[in-house]
Structure 1
Amino acid sequence: MDRPTKAELASERESERESERTCIVTRAKAAPEGLLRFVRAPDGAVVPDLRHKLPGRGVWVTADAKVVAQAVKRKAFARGFKAEVRVSETLPEDVAELMQRACLQSLSLAKKAGVVVAGFTKVTAAAQAGTVAGLIGASDGSADGSRKLHQALRRAGADVAEIKLFTEAQLSLALGGTNVIHAAVTRGAAAQAFLDQCKRLEIYLSGPSAAPATDELEPGAEAFSPPPELTKA
């Protein structure tokens, strides 16, 4: 295969630069996948566009709840849109809830695709078979069951992270069951889509490594505290 020419490489780098967006708070450039897009509704309300599909001009914010909180505090949206806007004081929490809802919808789709097992016995069997791609534990469930499932995974020569972003009630609703404390996704495209959504939510809540630390926020600013149901272990 012929090597790309210098002109082709330069064109490729230019395309990559053009695909990057700038955070209106930190001014850092990043690929759209690492940012949140917001649009201005006709009434001036700032609306999150998680799928990057809403019409109209958008502005971009680092996918970190603390940075979104700073965008609200610093009135960065008005500057970004160059227009008057209405911004909810609870915008960081609103985004977290939208992202959580997207995760649960993705979990429901994964169940329809046949890549979800629920219940301690079924999850244990999947762990022993080595087919688990991700564990899911209710945030208000017992830690003992999670410990036993991780032991089963390790005995099978594998271990995976456990997602604890959802309550028992939320998992039960998403999976159409009752008292769902433990679940798992097995390998497959739908499972990976769910895991990717959860990773994005976890990064939003905890902050990517490149995001400003709490002590680097604007003086007087408070760090974002996510809703209890998103963090309870």
Structure 2
Amino acid sequence: MEASAAKAPSTLAKASRERRDIVSGEVMDEARLIRFVVGPEGQVVPDLARKLPGRGLWVAADRVAVETAAKKGLFARAAKAKVQASPGLADQVEMLLRRRLLSALGLARKAGDITSGFEKVSSAIQSGKAAWLIEARDGAADGRRKIMAMARKQQSAPRVFGLFTAEELGLALGGENVIHTAFLAGRAAERWAEDARRLEGFSPLLPEDWREEPIEAKREP
């Protein structure tokens, strides 16, 4: 009985993090899902932080899944009520995820988990401390190629994110013309990675016109 009792909290904790996708019916970890709630006027509202009041309506963090739920009335079916889901709901989720990631970068900078600049980022990569290499979308290709080639040589290469402009990164990190940034490994980077993986279901994390072979070709399960 002691062994069973010891396992129970772990089992309950795991179960509390799993939800059923209203589109596929699959039960999966919350980290792979987007929570929605019904707003006061009957509209479907994304709840990325999973804190809004009301019954949660869970959909896989995937553009096709969210669009399917909106088009086929699956939110209304799950809520057992008449609700309105905007045709642009998936675009709204993508925009909110981008904002959330930028905001988290600002908090991470204040906590000392972010470093920027070619030399500092290079040092973080070479020392194995970089969990993510965040490159400005509009940065010079030459500098990007050099730092990404450096990252590829590491035994545990950082993943690469390239959707934000230098201006967006500068505003988030309190600098100007921020091109190269490293998110240092740790719990903050792990939390950031969760939202980055959710965003990946709505938009590739690297621009299509980047010709380099992406470091993160192997997606995490």
TM over 0.5: yes
TM bucket, shorter chain: 0.7 to 0.9
Match of 1:198 among 175, 184, 196: 196
What residue is the counterpart of 1:124 in the other structure?
122
Q: What are the equivalent positions in structure 2 for 1:1-233 lying under 5 Å apart?
A: 4-5=3-4, 16=14, 20-154=18-152, 158-205=156-203, 233=210
Compute the displacement of 1:30 (Å).
Answer: 1.4
**Partners of 2:31 and 2:194 within 8 A in 1:** no
For residues 94 and 145 of structure 1, do their structure 2 counterparts lie closer, same or farther at Cα, with a shift above 3 Å needed? same
Partners in 1 of 2:111 and 2:20 — Cα distance?
37
- RMSD across aligned positions (CA): 2.8
**Structure 1 Cα separation of the partners of residues 79 and 39 of structure 2:** 11
Count of paired positions? 210
Q: Distance in 2 between matches of 1:32 and 1:111?
A: 26
Q: Check 1:230–1:158 CA distance in 2 against 1; reply closer, same or farther (3 A cut).
A: closer
CA deviations on 1:98-148 (whole Å, 9 max, x unpaired) are 111111111111100112111222212323333222110012223322221
Distance 1:122 1:10 in 2: 46
Which stretches in structure 1 are left out of the alignment for 5+ residues? 207-225
Aligned partners of 2:9 and 2:192: how far apart in 1?
A: 34
Say which one has the larger Rg.
1
Would you identify which runs of 4 or more consecutive aligned residues in structure 1 move more than 4 Å? 7-19, 154-158, 229-233
Whether contact under 8 Å (1:35, 1:61) holds in the other structure is: yes
Shift of 1:45: 1.0
Residue 106 and residue 19 in structure 1: after superposition, are their counterparts in 2 closer, same or farther (change >3 A)?
closer
SS in 2 for 1:47: strand
TM-score w.r.t. the length of structure 2 is 0.81
Q: Which runs of 5+ in 2 are unaligned?
A: 211-221
Cα distance change, pair 12–151 in 1 and its aligned pair in 2 (3 A): closer
Q: TM-score, normalised by structure 1?
A: 0.78
